[in-house]
Structure 1
């Protein structure tokens, strides 16, 4: 796995923090990660060098072993915010408050601290002003609060180098399946989170919509290490889900050409302007499901030029739609 030392150091930091006043021994850390004590010492040195408040102590009551601890009362030095900065932070808090209702979430706790610094009269004024800012919740999931909790638990598994078990819902088959996954990371897309991980139940790297995960648990098995560039994995094609990479060529009418060209698509997307104001768009896609939805959303303003297989899929969908009207 790329940056293996970095991931290990991040996991070490969380293990020390989770063990609190008990601490965790040098030997236990070496055993946990299957490396030498010398490697762990070097990791601790690196973490301390960048400012994490770790200290070590020999515990005579536990076999004179070396234990590591986090300074319990450590706080980041006080930050001074200007009035415009603190009011902007509070407006951001009001906008995203519904996503972080659980006080155990670290970000929710931080937002509440910001809230507490604002005088009540000013808070009321800003709340009234915020009513004029309507957030786009058209694609917001109904279970956004649970979504954040799932993301936090999966992130905890990633930090600890552990696998997860869960039930995964397939909306097409209308059924759940049991999965065991080594999680690697996330991408936020259309107000949902998508997790990339090695699915031990399917023996391949898959993408999972976090909102479709239930009965999520961290298990004791260590993650399967893989060489995975998350950005490349998620950005290889159109949309979020992975699949066989194929090139698509679309003719976009002059009516929508400006709107198509003003958006960021795949980095390899190419446009060819035509004399009548229309444009030909060429881009790679992973499978046809998401690009099909995109094409149909623009109706007669987009025509598939290539490949033939996609043209057939769109034609069949239109034929089925005709039966409804």
Structure 2
């Protein structure tokens, strides 16, 4: 291939942020300077919510901040060096959620976004405007312009926003299911299906399969776009050695009846040849014994180091994913 490959990544959360950074790093290592023309990231917006009158998009902001180099790498979310003066004042007014921290710099992002939304811009247009501030080296698209916030339904029937269940309760309340009310009536954001149709490879980041990648795939038309695309579709396991890398994805998987294993998550996504979405699946060296099981599902399995502990390892993982697609 003489031109730069056209890459689409489906991503959300910290794992998604690190992987997208790795893909951009792999492109730069190949001598591709205009990575923004080569790399499109379709971001989960199921985590979004309204809080204290402003619209928050946690996954969008995490990936934006990571690409801009201004993210808090210790916490995995928010801005580096942020302060919480406004958040403390909100708590004095008994406003918002005392267990959900809004940093001052982060709040500036939310205010700007909300103002643009109030002026009539769509989330896609807002994200495009946000991307002008920093040289991100990628085009970011929300999965949809509609509001389809994730709701957790507990075993006793109680319903709560995903962020309350995840951040306040740390996923300790047993979920019966996850819903995105109204998602069956929405459509992919402008440019999403076009990017998938024109891609050489679609990469599914090692994000939470249930609440990060799940909502993206649930948008009507998304699975069809993936199945119809001429691109190779390569996924990266978020499970290493039978354990989640970060967060509480194991609780989410258990709720939908999926074992916490690299092979089980591959089966959950399914082979594209069998009405699923995967052509190939990257698993960790610790899970080498599962290769045959993955292959038995009709998915090509490749064993490679998956730990993204620094920029070089993240780029190496991304390069392995591109290699799996023959690029």
TM-score normalised to the size of structure 1? 0.25
Higher relative CO (CA 8 A, sep ≥ 6), structure 1 or 2? 2
Larger Rg: 1
Larger % of strand: which? 1
Q: TM-score, normalised by structure 2?
A: 0.25
